[in-house]
Structure 1
Amino acid sequence: MPQPKNLDPASMKEFYGAELRRRREEAGLSQSGLGDLVFCSGAYIGYLEMAARSPQLDMSEQIDSVLKTDGFFRRLCGAVLKGSKFAGYFAAAAELEQRALAICDFATTVVPGLLQTSAFTRAFIRSLRPLVDEQEIEQIVGARQERARALLKNPLEPELWFVIHEAVLRTHVGGAEVMREQLEHIAGVSRTHQAVIQVLPFSAGMTPLMYGPMRVMTFAEEPSAAYTETAHTGQLIEDPAVVASIAKSYDLARAAAMPPEASLGFVDRLLAEDFTP
């Protein structure tokens, strides 16, 4: 019996876009008209049709409902996302970060993925999922390290900015040796100017983004996007008004944080206080 072929996710994304355009036009809807019915902009529908943005499951379900396509776009979306190295909820965001001009991360409880060492990632995954298979852990570690190498290799493409709450740096993950290596890595990235890193101290009090981690991505010719996540899922946010509000909140957190040089000094002091024999 013939075996099913592995599908090219890039081609599947183009197929998704072509089918969306065909079925939208058959329904007599403009891009803006469909956008209004599925609660997004017409421009976003256009990006989907041009394969400039990856589809998301929740949006695909809404499109199926409006176009009466009986789950077609949800199934097709699953085929697109299946080809990613990352969890389905993060796949679209991971693709976007490769095209971003700037990525601004705010971390409340955990070191941002792009700054994590391999040992930190392993310890963190084990703390979340004690029974996870070792092979799966290594796949996650490998994918995360690959992302970091790709984005940190050139500090200008994209511009990386991290605001890290003091709680992140004081919460030990994986033991003293793992945490010491992690703090040294953060200090090294800051010291070599691969990214701008600011620490938000406890003394800064409450900020608008304290509810959870948040990332804002900006692009040359595409609208900005934001991404947030919990321990088990995540959400890509592309509504322009919501993204603009998140970006303003990020600016407020950035203004409340210590300057980069003072932040580097803070990390160095933590290393000296907590990890010097």
Structure 2
Amino acid sequence: MDETTPPELFNPLQRFGQDVRQVRLGRKLTQKHLGKATGYTEAYVSMVESGKQKASQKFAKGCDVAFGTNGLFTGLLRRIDEGDNPSWFVPYLNLERKATRILDYSATLVMGILQTEEYARVIFRVSNPGASPEAIEGKVASRVRRREVFKRDDPPLLWSILHEACLRTVVGNAGVMSLQLEYLLEAAESPHIVLQVMPFSAGAPTAHMKPFTVLHFTDSRSLLYTETRVGGRMHDSAQTVDAALDDYDLLRAHALSPDASLALIKTLLKEYRP
């Protein structure tokens, strides 16, 4: 980022970095001091300030503490994330961060919060053919950032049922799929993540079901999220949510056990590896 570049020409990451730098200098702190205060290296601070590195949520919170800015940088980072997602998806993202349990059924693609960078990058390139490389990378970073909920002191329980089609649909190439399946196996080691695979052999009545997600919250609320080609929708009707939970119970009953599911993923991983 050139010192002579007009602020109006900065992209969101550059604006964020410029704001960090401006406040840091105003507080008479060096990049090394800020790195120590936030738990990062001086090089990381430099990359963020130059707009070459998207800041983590931890870094943004650390800046607010170090600068005494009362959530300013956390809010700026959240708005960048929202800008990297369709407006109709932002309400779901905000609720996902607050959920205590996430129940998801994915029919053809691995759910977003479990996607690797490489897998997500292919998805975004296909669905946004006119987007710039920078815009694609922003979307990828925003998607990967969703995993940060599992770093909380009280992470949510994620129960994900993946139809076998999710594992056999080649997104990108065999290399991308290998990394994705490896990550699923790694994620399943967490006590907060349960994976089940719905095999093709299950057939009806599960084959007709569309992808959906149910979010549970500490106040006992539950919401159903569904998505179509034109956007997503949240459903809070008790009758609608209960029907979705009945469907989820049916899916769990027909899916492979968690252990058998991981065994199938390992078998498919061998097929993708050269």
TM bin, normalised by shorter chain, reads 0.5 to 0.7
Gapped runs of 5+ residues in structure 2?
1-7, 9-78
Distance 2:197 2:206 in 1: 16
State how many pairs are aligned: 196
Q: Does 1:212 pair with 2:210? A: yes
Alpha-carbon distance in 2 for matches of 1:155, 1:230: 34
CA contact (8 A) 1:197 1:263 kept: yes
**What residue number does 1:90 align with?**
89
Structure 1 CA distance, aligned partners of 2:207 and 2:96?
20
Deviation at 1:82, TM superposition (A): 10
2:129 equivalent in structure 1: 130
In the alignment, which residue of structure 1 is the partner of 2:145? 146
- For the 8 Å contact 1:155–1:194, the answer to whether it is kept is no
State, as a whole percentage, how many aligned pairs show the same letter.
35
Change (3 A) 1:136 1:232: farther
Give RMSD over aligned pairs: 2.3
Tell me which moved more, 102-111 or 152-161.
Answer: 152-161
Q: For residue 209 of structure 1, report the CA deviation from its aligned partner.
A: 7.5
**Once superposed, which parts of structure 1, at least 4 consecutive aligned residues long, lie more than 6 Å away?**
none
Question: How far has the Cα of 1:130 moved from its partner?
Answer: 2.3
Q: Which moved more, 1:236-245 or 1:155-164?
A: 155-164
What are the superposed Cα offsets for residues 78-97 of structure 1, whole Å, 9 maximum, x if unpaired? Answer: xxx99934321111111111
Q: Is the 8 A contact 1:201 1:257 kept in 2?
A: yes
Q: Which runs of 5+ in 1 are unaligned?
A: 4-80
State the shift of 1:153 in Å.
Answer: 2.5
Residue type at the aligned position of 1:252: L
Deviation at 1:129, TM superposition (A): 2.7
Q: Residues of 2 paired with 1:83 and 1:259: CA distance?
A: 35
TM-score, normalized by length of structure 2? 0.66
| Pairing 1:275–2:272 present | yes
Structure 2: which amino acid aligns with 1:138?
A: E
Residue correspondence of structure 1 range 42-57 to structure 2 within 5 A: none
C-alpha distance in 2 between matches for 1:159 and 1:147: 14
Distance 2:153 2:200 in 1: 29
Q: CA deviation at 1:238?
A: 1.4
1:175 partnered with 2:173 = yes
Instruction: State the TM-score, normalized to the length of structure 1.
Output: 0.66
Match 1:256 to one of 232, 254, 257 = 254
- Offset at 1:107? 0.2
Once the two structures are overlaid, the 10-residue window that deviates more, 254-263 or 84-93, is: 84-93
Alignment of 1:56-205 (within 5 A): 84-85=82-83, 86-148=85-147, 150-153=148-151, 157-205=155-203
